[in-house]
């Protein structure tokens, strides 16, 4: 039965990574396989299966709106020349791609994750990396890997505050102490992630000999580790003095500011410029003189507006409540099943805020509206293609998570996996806890959903084994953040914004080893804590 429960993990990996099928085909096959297991082995009722399919389609539309907004914003800014001006501005900080990786894929993404979450940071950051000369596969892979650690706090600490709600001991104090524990572990994770992103750039995408690659990594290591420590140390202080809601936002902003200032002033950064991954014809690119003269603030203004609106809509409670309750397209109690619902607050969606950014980009360009027809058509076309992969992916996810609605009496598949792991690995649970969190996020595509599903069981296991439940819950959250990198619908979205439609399998193959290393490091930290407590 465990093998059947794991089909939602095994099937996508087999079809996308081994058989190298496009996600629209691989995930459709995976959805059919999981549906068969849910019906024949779990005894899932036809009504529950139909509701899960409807839920998956509805959820895919919510992601589609975000994706459409991001695509249209990028394509509109490309047509106005704003992206070229942003490129010049970022190059003035440093033309070194190692430095740019840390600035954009680590620090900027941490800030975006704290503001918006829900997969938005990677689909905003990946096009920025492409503007800087990163090839599409590298831009998508680095953005997805970078959007991990900050997910432990996510948008206004949603994975923490909402994710722990099902834990029996839930309280404001529990949220605070678990958040504080996470930041202590991140003192190790953060510098390793910052350096690890550069390592992925150099070793997976660089054109050098192995010896030269090691030298290139060693040159940047002091600065990359320093920026990682700046983020982690800031988070340690912020979560204790201010609270978890602003941790990712403030720590991300601080690390972004420090990274930009130190890079611009060549402090700890290498003297040699590393661009052994850039497009061969990049240096020959000529930027229009009017673009070069565009004020940098004007070029960045659509992004600035998006960030400010996301920040205001998440942190001002009256505004948040109004946006969440107005133009609500949520679908509750689908087909009469109370446990099957899908939320879609359209005005609160990052997708709509990204569309506001598009309007700003159009207005400040002072171009005729008809000149933006091409970006609109391209964005609609790419979003439609993405939905062909997103819909079967989300259907599979909902069948997996709703499989507890059955006639067999079995627990839902994710709970069954957790129970089986607990029966066999209780003695080493501090090393297993992150893996369970990663599994939940990989399948659901959400650190919050992983925490909601797995945290109650993690808490019970901690009590049964007399382990510190705060540490176990912290490891669950860190594991969920790691698994977020390879969540299928996040990969689909990132592949679309960089122009790799239906080539998600390439990104998955690039992500699998770094993600396994990330989870393994977290497991080793858990094992170290276990040995210390013995």
In the structure encoding, which two tokens stand for residue 512, read together? 């699998």
Contacts of 490 (CB under 8 A, 6+ apart): 119, 122, 144, 147, 445, 484
How far is the C-alpha of 51 from the C-alpha of 463, rounded, in Å? 35
How far is the C-alpha of 121 from the C-alpha of 114, rounded, in Å? 9
Residue 296 CB neighbours (<10 A): 14
Q: Which residues pair with 342 in a beta bridge?
A: 331
Q: Please give the model's pTM, rounded to 2 decimal places.
A: 0.92
In terms of phi and psi (left: phi > 0; alpha: psi -120 to 50; beta: otherwise), the region of 343 is beta
Strand runs labelled E in 363-518: none
Residue 172 CB neighbours (<10 A): 10
pLDDT at 289: 52
CB 443 within 8 A of CB 417: no
pLDDT at 530: 85
Residue 68 CB neighbours (<10 A): 23
pLDDT at 288: 56
CB 44 within 8 A of CB 81: no
Dihedral over alpha carbons 519, 164, 445, 357 (to 10 degrees) = -120
Task: List the chain domain ranges.
Answer: 2-269+294-533
pLDDT at 284: 44
How far is the C-alpha of 226 from the C-alpha of 242, rounded, in Å? 23
Q: Is the dihedral of CA 107, 111, 117, 121 positive or negative?
A: negative
Q: What are phi and psi of 44, to 5 degrees?
A: -65, 135
Give the pLDDT means over successive 10-residue stretches in the chain (534 positions): 93 94 95 97 97 96 92 91 88 94 96 82 93 94 96 88 92 94 96 98 93 96 98 97 90 96 95 77 50 82 91 89 93 95 93 94 84 91 93 95 95 93 89 94 89 93 92 96 92 92 91 95 92 81
pLDDT at 372: 86
């Amino acid at each position: 039965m465990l093998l059947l429960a794991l089909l939602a993990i095994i099937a996508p990996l087999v079809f996308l990574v081994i058989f190298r099928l496009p996600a629209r085909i691989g995930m459709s096959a995976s959805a059919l396989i999981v549906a068969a297991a849910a019906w024949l082995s779990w005894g899932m009722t036809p009504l529950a299966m139909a509701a899960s399919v409807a839920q998956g389609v509805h959820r895919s539309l919510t992601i589609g709106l975000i994706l459409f907004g991001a695509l249209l914003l990028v394509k509109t800014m490309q047509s106005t020349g704003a992206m070229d001006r942003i490129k010049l501005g970022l190059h003035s900080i440093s033309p070194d791609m190692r430095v740019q990786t840390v600035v954009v894929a680590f620090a900027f993404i941490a800030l975006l994750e704290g503001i918006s979450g829900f997969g938005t940071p990677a689909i905003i950051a990946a096009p920025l990396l492409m503007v800087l000369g990163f090839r599409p596969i590298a831009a998508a892979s680095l953005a997805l890997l970078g959007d991990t650690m900050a997910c432990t706090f996510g948008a206004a600490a949603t994975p923490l505050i909402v994710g722990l709600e099902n834990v029996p001991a839930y309280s404001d104090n529990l949220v605070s102490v678990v958040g504080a524990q996470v930041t202590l572990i991140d003192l190790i994770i953060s510098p390793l992630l910052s350096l690890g992103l550069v390592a992925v750039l150099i070793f997976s995408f660089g054109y050098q000999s192995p010896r030269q690659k090691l030298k290139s990594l060693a040159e940047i290591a002091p600065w990359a580790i320093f920026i990682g420590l700046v983020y982690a140390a800031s988070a340690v202080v912020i979560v204790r003095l201010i609270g978890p809601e602003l941790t990712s936002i403030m720590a991300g902003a601080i690390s972004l500011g420090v990274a930009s200032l130190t890079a611009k002033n060549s402090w700890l950064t290498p003297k040699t410029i590393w661009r052994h991954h850039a497009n061969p014809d990049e240096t020959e690119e000529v930027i229009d003189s009017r673009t070069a003269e565009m004020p940098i603030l004007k070029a960045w203004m659509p992004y600035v507006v998006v960030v400010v609106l996301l920040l205001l809509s998440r942190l001002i409670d009256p505004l948040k409540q109004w946006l969440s309750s107005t133009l609500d397209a949520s679908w509750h109690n689908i087909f009469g099943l109370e446990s099957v619902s899908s939320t879609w607050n359209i005005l609160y969606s990052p997708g709509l805020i990204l569309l506001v950014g598009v309007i700003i980009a159009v207005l400040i360009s002072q171009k005729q509206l008809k000149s933006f027809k091409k970006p609109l058509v391209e964005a609609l076309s790419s979003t439609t293609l993405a939905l062909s992969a997103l819909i079967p992916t989300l259907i599979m996810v909902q069948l997996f998570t709703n499989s507890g609605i059955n006639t067999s009496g079995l627990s839902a598949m994710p709970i069954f996996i957790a129970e089986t792991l607990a029966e066999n690995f209780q003695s080493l649970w501090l090393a297993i806890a992150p893996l369970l969190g990663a599994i939940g996020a990989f399948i659901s595509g959400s650190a919050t959903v992983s925490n909601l599903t797995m945290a109650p069981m993690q808490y019970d296991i901690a009590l049964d084994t007399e382990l510190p439940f705060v540490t176990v819950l912290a490891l669950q959250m860190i594991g969920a953040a790691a698994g977020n990198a390879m969540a299928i619908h996040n990969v689909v979205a990132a592949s679309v914004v960089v122009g790799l439609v239906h080539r998600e399998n390439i990104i998955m193959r690039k992500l699998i080893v770094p993600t396994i290393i990330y989870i393994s490091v977290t497991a080793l930290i858990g094992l170290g804590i276990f040995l210390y407590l013995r």
